[in-house]
């Protein structure tokens, strides 16, 4: 009798042989896909290839320990694992390589990511959650080195939350008592990245069920491990993280990447430790190879010695597994050769089928376009030129959509002065082509569900007759209290968020009331704070990740930009991460604590909402709105607003601030002033002084920068006043320029302007320290007053003579 590598129960030798041979078939299939995939890139059928050859055997062992409900957060070498868990076929592998835009052909990303980037589907077609405990889950990969690490932490922490937080026991489609393990993978060279170290440290502190595999083939692209890692050995460096009887930490295990039986034992042991004890495990998988080098962009023969190449050939994990199978009398040389021959054919056939499926729709579209071009040419004075375009397009044996659309669009240039039914047919076809094809490359940047954050209706704050004037921090605090009471799956965490109730006491008393897991302090590590939120949001919780100041967003901006905001887009709508990021910024004093870098954020964070409430009541309404839907957002509270007085609403937890809707806070007839956040108070004060000079300004608070003014209310104001000034405290060319472009260009405001539209921003340096530093760095009341007066002077110099 033998032991079942997956269950540790005893099975017959015949069953054991069948299991081993099935694993070997997967390893060989994966290798053949890698080899043939490289050829497809070199022949030009695919743009780029990065493959998992050399990592096959350890991934077979990992797949045996991976259970339903578990999660993967890996990197682009894990194709064998995906095949082993039944989530990647030969055809799907090649569909991803060719960038097939059909989600059924390429279920990983519908052609949006290059091959080697893997994901499973967490959502049904209507955007609702699947039962994630009944499937094996892979969070969608990203390319940036070690970028998968922060998210991994959150995926693991979710199990801890599900196991220990009361009130969410009914969320059984996301977790079964927190028994799920989050599995991470990384190349040994990428452990040099700060994101690796930050995550490793955080997982050790939090004690979460995370198993981290380091695939060690001694190189990072062409750079040897001696230039990457102290002592050339990551597990040696991490020895201090090893747990003992007195202190928590990691279980650290080393194993040879070609030792099939030992790998199976190691992965089962790691699974048991993480799953039952909620202890993180690091598995250092050594002596791996990379037979084709890093990617199709180069050859490893250029940087590996002859001796190293010979060693890799002998110690390749597939070669060693083959030798072990024969020496263990599991199969003969002849049997394995027959298996390998059969698999080569299957991979070739699968590749061919994937390519034919990829080009088939384009060929149909090509035929339609060629027919329309032929019809257009018949009655055109420029027949010869159009027929040349038609013939060139028809000669393309494997047409791209770029070729089809370029040819048809160019043809219209030759009939610009003509009028015919054939021209109209081609115009209609091109328009329809864009409508049908463009979403294949652009859909799902934001939620496309029938009900989304932009459809949540406003609920205004209501007040008792004797409503008290309180500090703004009290409003945000009491609203969080209502949120935690209403939504047991909501949790908040950040630097100083717990015991002291955040630096501005907007969470005062919340940890004592709701516990240390739901209102948590964390270390100074913004990237993994973000990662905790992404991972937990992907597992059905509603996390609020607090970044203490807007300036510190820069520490985690890469994770927000590359991971969070692209989750829905890069999976073609099959995954989501409804994380709310809370921070505070704008007007304060000093280079590092007065951040208003909104221009950078609005361009780097397309895919999430950026909300800029002017006071704490508006901020409270945004949190309530966001928790009614399932989309990521950044909420920036005004840093100087916590001590300002506001009336206390009596409907906290229920009031809603609409997303993408501007508010006119003062009506006027002479000029439209647009702003947001703390600067709006400056604008309001200036407007009062302008009124005394006979200038009646209309003030608009944009409230949200992404999305911006969905109802196009700003242009309605400009149509009334015929003048426009946009004011904010970002640098010149930042958010104020973005708002101006939206009003003038997108909304067509140029048609209504009698004066040049202008912006008033901060100076291009960061704000100097102190009250005077603020005054000379950011727009002041006087700056706003004088800029508006200057605009009015140009219009009516006799009524508004020059100030200076």
Q: Which residues are catalytic?
A: 593
Closest to 318 (Cα-Cα) out of 26, 77, 118: 26
Which residues fall within 8 angstroms of residue 720, CB to CB, at 6 or more apart?
Answer: 669, 672, 698
Which residues fall within 8 angstroms of residue 739, CB to CB, at 6 or more apart?
Answer: 674, 702, 705, 708, 714, 726, 728, 759
Structure tokens at 397: 């044996």
> Which residue stretches of 584-636 are H helix?
598-604, 616-626
Q: Count the neighbouring beta carbons within 10 Å of the beta carbon of residue 332.
A: 11
Sign of CA dihedral 272, 273, 275, 277: positive
460 within 8 A of 647, measured Cβ to Cβ = no
The Cα angle at residue 615 between residues 610 and 621, in degrees rounded to 5 = 65
Q: SS3 of 131, please?
A: coil
Structure tokens at 432: 């329809």
Closest to 113 (Cα-Cα) out of 91, 95, 129, 130: 95
Q: SS3 of 746, please?
A: helix
Strands 519-521 and 580-585: unpaired
Q: How far is Cα 757 from Cα 741, in angstroms, rounded to an integer? A: 10
CA distances from 587 to 611, 704, 735, 771 (A): 16, 18, 15, 11
Sign of CA dihedral 100, 104, 110, 114: negative
88 within 8 A of 81, measured Cβ to Cβ = no
373 within 8 A of 411, measured Cβ to Cβ = yes
Closest to 642 (Cα-Cα) out of 460, 475, 462, 468: 475
29 within 8 A of 293, measured Cβ to Cβ = no
Q: How many CA atoms lie within 13 A of 228 on its CB side?
A: 20
Strands 10-11 and 2-3: antiparallel
Q: How far is Cα 582 from Cα 283, in angstroms, rounded to an integer? A: 35
Q: How far is Cα 59 from Cα 260, in angstroms, rounded to an integer? A: 10
422 within 8 A of 372, measured Cβ to Cβ = yes
Q: How far is Cα 484 from Cα 518, in angstroms, rounded to an integer? A: 8
132 within 8 A of 182, measured Cβ to Cβ = no
> Which residue stretches of 278-332 are H helix?
306-315, 317-327
Q: How far is Cα 439 from Cα 407, in angstroms, rounded to an integer? A: 20
Structure tokens at 563: 């991971």
Q: How far is Cα 776 from Cα 763, in angstroms, rounded to an integer? A: 8
Structure tokens at 615: 């006071």
Cα Rg of the chain (Å, integer): 30
- Buried b / exposed e over 562-582, threshold 16 CB at 10 Å, is ebbbbbbbbbbbbbbbbbbbb
Closest to 741 (Cα-Cα) out of 696, 674, 670: 674
CA distances from 630 to 528, 575, 623 (A): 21, 11, 12
Closest to 508 (Cα-Cα) out of 542, 533, 471, 561: 471
Peptide bond into 707 cis (omega under 30): yes
């Amino acid at each position: 009798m033998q032991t079942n590598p997956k269950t540790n129960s005893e099975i017959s030798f015949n069953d054991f042989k069948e299991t081993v041979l099935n694993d070997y078939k997967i390893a060989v299939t994966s290798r053949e896909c890698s080899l043939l995939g490289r050829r497809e890139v070199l022949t030009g059928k695919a743009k780029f290839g990065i493959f998992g050859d050399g990592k096959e055997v350890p991934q077979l062992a990992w797949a045996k320990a991976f259970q339903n409900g578990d999660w993967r957060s890996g990197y682009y070498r894990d194709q064998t694992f995906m095949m082993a868990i039944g989530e990647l076929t030969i055809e799907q592998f090649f569909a991803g390589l060719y960038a097939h835009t059909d989600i059924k052909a390429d279920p990983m990303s519908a052609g949006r990511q290059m091959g080697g980037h893997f994901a499973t589907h967490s959502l049904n077609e209507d955007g609702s959650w699947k039962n994630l405990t009944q499937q094996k889950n892979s969070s969608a990969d990203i390319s940036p080195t070690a970028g998968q690490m922060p998210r991994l932490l959150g995926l693991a922490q979710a199990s801890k939350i599900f196991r220990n937080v009361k009130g969410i026991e009914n969320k059984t489609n996301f977790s079964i008592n927190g028994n799920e393990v989050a599995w991470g993978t990384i190349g040994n060279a990428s452990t040099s990245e700060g994101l690796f170290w930050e995550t490793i440290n955080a997982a050790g502190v939090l004690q979460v069920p995370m198993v981290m595999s380091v695939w060690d083939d001694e190189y990072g692209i062409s750079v040897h491990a001696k230039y990457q890692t102290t002592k050339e050995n990551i597990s040696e460096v991490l020895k201090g993280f090893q747990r003992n009887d007195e202190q928590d930490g990691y279980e650290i295990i080393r194993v040879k990447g070609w030792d099939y039986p030992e790998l199976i034992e190691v992965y089962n042991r790691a699974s048991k430790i993480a799953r039952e004890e909620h202890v993180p495990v690091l598995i250092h998988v050594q002596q791996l190879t990379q037979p084709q080098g890093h990617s199709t962009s180069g050859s490893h023969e250029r940087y590996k010695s002859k001796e190293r190449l010979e060693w890799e050939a002998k110690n390749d994990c597939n070669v060693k597994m083959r030798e072990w199978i024969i020496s263990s009398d599991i199969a003969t040389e002849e049997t394995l050769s027959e298996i390998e021959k059969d698999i080569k054919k299957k991979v070739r056939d699968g590749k061919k089928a994937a390519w034919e499926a990829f080009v088939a729709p384009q060929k149909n579209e090509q035929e339609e376009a060629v027919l329309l071009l032929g019809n257009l040419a018949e009655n055109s004075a420029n027949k010869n030129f159009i027929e040349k375009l038609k013939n060139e397009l028809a000669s393309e044996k494997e047409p791209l959509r770029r070729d089809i659309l370029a040819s048809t669009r160019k043809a219209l240039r030759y009939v610009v002065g003509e009028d015919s039914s054939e021209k109209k047919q081609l115009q209609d076809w091109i328009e329809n082509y864009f409508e049908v094809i463009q979403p294949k490359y652009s859909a799902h940047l934001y939620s496309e569900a029938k009900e989304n954050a932009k459809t949540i209706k406003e609920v205004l704050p209501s007040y008792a007759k004797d409503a008290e004037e309180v500090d703004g921090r009290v409003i945000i605090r009491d609203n969080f209290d209502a949120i935690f009471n209403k939504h047991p799956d909501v949790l908040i965490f950040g630097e100083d968020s717990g015991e002291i109730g955040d630096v501005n006491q907007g969470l005062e008393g919340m940890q004592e009331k709701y516990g240390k897991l739901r209102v948590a302090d964390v270390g100074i590590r913004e990237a993994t704070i973000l990662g905790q939120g992404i991972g937990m949001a992907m597992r059905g919780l509603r996390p609020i990740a607090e970044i203490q100041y807007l300036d510190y967003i820069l520490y985690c901006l890469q994770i927000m930009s590359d991971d969070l905001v692209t989750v829905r887009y890069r999976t073609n709508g099959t995954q989501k991460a409804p994380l709310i990021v809370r921070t505070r910024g704008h007007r304060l004093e000093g280079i590092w604590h007065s951040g208003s870098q909104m221009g950078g954020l609005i361009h780097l964070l397309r895919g999430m909402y950026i909300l800029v409430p002017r006071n704490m009541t508006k901020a409270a309404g945004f949190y309530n709105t966001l928790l009614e839907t399932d989309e990521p957002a950044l909420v920036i509270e005004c840093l100087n607003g916590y001590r300002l007085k506001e009336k206390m609403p009596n409907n906290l937890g229920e009031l809603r601030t609409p997303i993408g809707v501007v508010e006119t806070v003062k009506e006027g007839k002479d000029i439209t002033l647009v702003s947001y956040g703390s600067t709006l108070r400056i604008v309001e004060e200036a407007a009062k002084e302008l009124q005394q000079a006979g200038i009646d300004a209309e003030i608009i608070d944009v409230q949200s920068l992404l999305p911006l003014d969905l109802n196009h209310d700003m242009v309605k104001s400009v149509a009334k006043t015929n003048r426009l000034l946009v004011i904010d405290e970002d640098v010149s060319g930042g958010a104020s320029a973005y708002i101006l472009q939206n009003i003038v260009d997108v909304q067509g405001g140029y048609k209504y302007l009698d004066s040049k539209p202008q912006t008033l921003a901060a100076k291009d340096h960061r704000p100097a320290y102190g009250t005077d530093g603020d005054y000379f760095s950011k727009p002041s009341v006087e700056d706003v007053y004088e800029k508006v007066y200057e605009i009015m002077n140009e219009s009516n110099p006799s009524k508004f003579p020059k100030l200076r």
